[in-house]
Amino acid sequence: MLKYVLNIVVYLSLALWIGSLVFFGAGVASLLFQPDMLPSRTLAGAVNSAILGRLGKIEIVAGVLLVGGTFYAAFRYRHVLNWVVLVISAAMLVTAAYYTTTLFPKMDALRVEIGDFDHVPTEKLALREEFEQGHKTYSSLVKGVLAGGVLVLVLHTIAFVRYTEVHARRYRTLESEWKKLKERFLGKEPEPDDVEPKLSSSEDESNAGEKKRKAKEKGNEKDDVPVAAKEGREDDNPSESDRNTSSPAKKAVATEER
């Protein structure tokens, strides 16, 4: 029961993590910085920063759940795919924790220090370049975590399907062995593996009709004995009364001849 619960936890954490990153990239950041969406880039950056703070916490929670589920699977199944999934999940969690707790606060502090992103003063251009470099690093790390999440999803599914197939094969083998042992214990001969296939109902009816027809033909052959053969057998074997009536006549003829 525990393995099914943790497997569900793994898929839910992956769905939450991957879905959050995809939605933020495609549905939030790409819209906030459009020219006609907000009055200024400074306001768009402030809104984006607030959303990233919440997103980072969601990523850490999903990462902890993911590592917990994959950790159990690695020690429970002890297959190389499960260990690979565990390593990738741990690397994703460490990376997310780094850019959420270290890189993002640094970038947010630079954003506040720069102030106006629409008109950056000359003395703050160095801070703007540092902010842009941090933004590129942050984006690269997030893309790596997203790719790692997709890879974990694929590998974990392959490992789970493999385990299910192996478990089902073992169950069928144990069931067959138990059936043979039970038949031997009860004194029954084990059923052969190669059993002739059963005929369909139409084939059974046709075979039964053929057998009845042949039996009927054999009965007619026995009843249709030639009449001449019967008469011949009757002539060859006269009855006892005929033998009694013919014997006095024969005696009389013999007396006259004498």
Residue 175 lies in a domain: yes
Instruction: Tell me, yes or no, whether 115 lies in a domain.
Output: yes
Structural domain range at position 65: 2-185
pTM: 0.64
107 CB burial (10 A radius; 0-12, 13-18, 19+): buried
Residue 249 is predicted with a pLDDT of 46
What is the pLDDT confidence band of residue 31, given thresholds at 50, 70 and 90?
A: confident
Where does the pLDDT of residue 51 fall: very low under 50, low under 70, confident under 90, or very high at 90 and above? very high
pLDDT, one tens digit per residue, over 109-134 is 988 888 888 888 888 888 889 999 99
Instruction: Specify the higher pLDDT residue, 250 or 211.
Output: 211
Number of structural domains (the chain) is: 1
214 is a domain residue: no
Q: What is the 3-state composition of the chain as percent helix, strand, coil, each rounded to the nearest 5?
A: 85, 0, 15
In a domain, 136, yes or no: yes
Identify the band that residue 58 occupies on the pLDDT scale cut at 50, 70 and 90. very high
Residues of the chain with pLDDT > 90: what percent? 33
Higher pLDDT, 113 or 172: 113
Q: Would 134 be classed as within a structural domain?
A: yes
Q: Does any domain span residue 256?
A: no
253 or 98, greater pLDDT: 98
Domain for residue 125, yes or no?
A: yes
Q: In the prediction, which pLDDT does 35 show?
A: 79
Contact 93, 141 (CB under 8 A): no
Higher pLDDT, 190 or 148: 148
Whether 202 is in a domain gets the answer: no
| DSSP calls for 130-168 | HHHHHHHHHHHHHHHHHHHHHHHHHHHHHHHHHHHHHHH
Query: Which pLDDT belongs to residue 212?
Result: 67
Does the structure show a pLDDT above 70 at 225? Answer: no
For the chain, the average pLDDT equals: 77
Q: Is-contact 163 79, C-beta < 8 A? A: yes
